[in-house]
Structure 1
């Protein structure tokens, strides 16, 4: 996916859909996009935004770059940070500024 395609408008329609979060061992975890939210400030050509994904609680993944796949997108490499544990899994956030 070209850098220009990393916009809030590109991801908002995908909220609620499933991604595959690839792991180093060639396996993967299901990850659902639970939120696409506008940020504040940033460059005029691309306002900041964040994406929040929910994945299973185990294994708990450390912050780092992960490849995510979705049928409507090219594979994307995102820096994900664990931000919350919920009753249904772990939330990971990617921030674009």
Structure 2
């Protein structure tokens, strides 16, 4: 399991355009990494700049905001909080914010 406290945006930048698997119990879905945006500031006590990962799933996909296992063969498995931000013409939109 990846330690989120040490995770940097540079881990996800090369994954833009690639798929990750999101899992909760026996259910799973595929999400594409569409953007990694850096916040350009550090929170007090943090050693990294905050960043947001934007994902897209199939249109009509509904996932309640919660902590999910996120998997990628080149990165590994991590538990992250994911929030749905919309459902547009290109698919359902999600994000995970790291501070």
Shared fold, TM over 0.5:
yes
Q: Tell me the number of residue pairs that the alignment of Structure 1 and Structure 2 aligns.
A: 96
- What do the CA deviations read for 1:30-67 (whole angstroms, capped 9, x no partner)? 11001100114224620010001111234411111111
Question: For 2:24 and 2:88, how far apart are their aligned partners in 1?
Answer: 21
* RMSD of aligned residue pairs (Cα, Å): 1.6
Question: For 1:3 and 1:91, how far apart are their aligned partners in 2?
Answer: 22
> In the alignment, does 2:32 pair up with 1:39?
no
Question: For 2:9 and 2:88, how far apart are their aligned partners in 1?
Answer: 24
Structure 1's unaligned 5+ residue stretches are none
Query: Normalising to structure 2: TM-score of the pair?
Result: 0.86
Query: Normalising to structure 1: TM-score of the pair?
Result: 0.87
Of 77, 89, 93, 1:91 maps to 93
Question: For 1:52 and 1:5, how far apart are their aligned partners in 2?
Answer: 19
Which structure has the highest strand share of the two?
2
Structure 2's unaligned 5+ residue stretches are none
